[in-house]
Amino acid sequence: MGSALNRRIHAWLAGNPDESILRWVFRTIVVVTVVVLVADLIGLNEPHVSSDAASPQFDIRKEPDAPAEAPSVLAPLLKRLMPLPKSDPALEQPISLELRGGGRLYATGTITPGSARAFADEVDRHGEYIKTVVLNSPGGSVADALAMGRLIRARKFATEIEAGKTCVSSCPLMFAGGLERRAGERATIGVHQVAAVRSANAARSDNDMSLAQNVSARCQRYLSDMGIDLKVWVHAMETPHDQLFIFKPDELKALNLVTSVPDSRPEKSRS
C-alpha cells in the first residue's frame, strides 16, 4: 500500500498535478464510503441495546414507578364499602305513609316520583298530630327526598330510623330534614353516588353529566342548609352506585347527621 502511494505521488509530480489530485480525492471518498457502509452492515448484525430501553417505560394502567403491589389510595374506602343489600319486597313498593300513636308518621318503601306530593298531602291532613317521621326506605327519587326533607324541617318534625331498620341512598336526605334526628341501634344509614336519569330529549352523554352535577349541587346546598357536615356528600360521591358507604354510629354523630344515637356500651362501663 505504501509503494502504491509513492507511485501516485510521483505521477502527480510528473504529470498534471491538479488532475491527479482530483482523481486521488475521488478515489479516497469512494474508499471511505465503502468502509463506512461495511461498518454499518456489521453493526446491524450485532446485538444492541435500544436507547429507549434505558428510559422509564410507563404503563397507562398504573402510575409510573409505582411498586407493583403498592396499595391504592382508595384502599381504605374500598374496605368500607358494601354491596347493596338484598331487596326487601316490602321496601320495593312505593313509599306508604301511616300515622300511628305518639304522632309517629311511618314512611316505608321506595321514594318514587310523586312521593313528595303524597307526603305533603298527608302533612296537610294530619300535620298537627305529626311529631316524628319514622323512615325505613332503600331510597329512590332524589328530588322527592329533598322536597320531603325541606317540608319536614319547615314543620319542625323529628326524624327517626328504628333499630335494625334501613335508610340508604336518597333516604338520608329526607332523614336530614329532621329538627332532631335519631337512629336506633344497628340502624343502617348509607349513601352512594346519584344515578342520573336520562330524559327523553337527552341525546348526549354530556347532558347526563350536567344533570348529575346539578343534582349534586342541590344536595350539597340542602345538606348545608340542614346543618349537616358536607363530608356526608363526599362519601356519597366516592361510592359507586351499586355499593353503599355505611356510616358508623360515631361518624353519624361527628358529621351531625344524627343528633342522638343509642349508647351501645355495656351497663358497667356507663357507670
Helix H or strand E encompassing 246:
strand 243-246
pLDDT at position 203 over 90: no
* Whole-number pLDDT of residue 42: 52
* DSSP 8-state assignment for residue 72: P
Write the CA distances from 167 to 85, 91, 137, 251, 259, integer angstroms: 11, 11, 5, 15, 16
Residue corresponding to grid cell 347527621: 257
**What pTM was estimated for this model as a whole?**
0.66
We find that the CATH architecture of domain 88-262 is Alpha-Beta Complex (3.90)
| Mean pLDDT value across residues 243-253 | 95
DSSP, residue by residue, 110-131: BB-TTHHHHHHHHHHHHTTT--
**Mapping DSSP to helix (H, G, I), strand (E, B) and coil, where does residue 70 land?**
coil
Which is more confidently placed, 168 or 54?
168
Name, in order, each residue with C-beta under 8 angstroms of 219's C-beta and a sequence gap of 6 or more.
Answer: 142, 146, 173, 194, 233, 236
Name, in order, each residue with C-beta under 8 angstroms of 214's C-beta and a sequence gap of 6 or more.
Answer: none
Lowest mean pLDDT among 69-73, 79-83, 110-114, 152-156: 69-73
pLDDT at position 85 over 90: no
Which is more confidently placed, 146 or 206?
146
Number of other CB atoms surrounding residue 137 within 10 Å: 25
133 neighbors 152 (Cβ within 8 angstroms):
yes
N-terminal to C-terminal alpha carbon distance within the chain: 111
DSSP, residue by residue, 210-242: HHHHHHHHHHHHHHHHTT--THHHHHHHHS-TT
Which is more confidently placed, 66 or 109?
109
Closest to 111 in 3D by CA, of 97, 121, 101: 97
Residues facing 137 on adjacent strands: 167
* DSSP 8-state assignment for residue 177: T
187 neighbors 249 (Cβ within 8 angstroms):
no
pLDDT at position 230 over 60: yes
Q: Which cell numbers hold the place of 73?
A: 389510595
| Mean pLDDT value across residues 23-50 | 52
Q: What is the bridge-based pairing of β-strands 132-136 and 181-183?
A: unpaired
| Mean pLDDT value across residues 206-233 | 91
Write the CA distances from 37 to 18, 26, 41, integer angstroms: 29, 17, 6
* Whole-number pLDDT of residue 39: 55
The model's pLDDT over 156-181, given as tens digits with 9 standing for 90+, comes to 999 999 999 999 999 999 999 999 99
Which is more confidently placed, 53 or 179?
179
**Residue type, position 134, single letter:** V
Lowest mean pLDDT among 47-61, 88-102, 205-219: 47-61
* Whole-number pLDDT of residue 18: 54
Which is more confidently placed, 87 or 251?
251
Closest to 95 in 3D by CA, of 153, 166, 157: 166
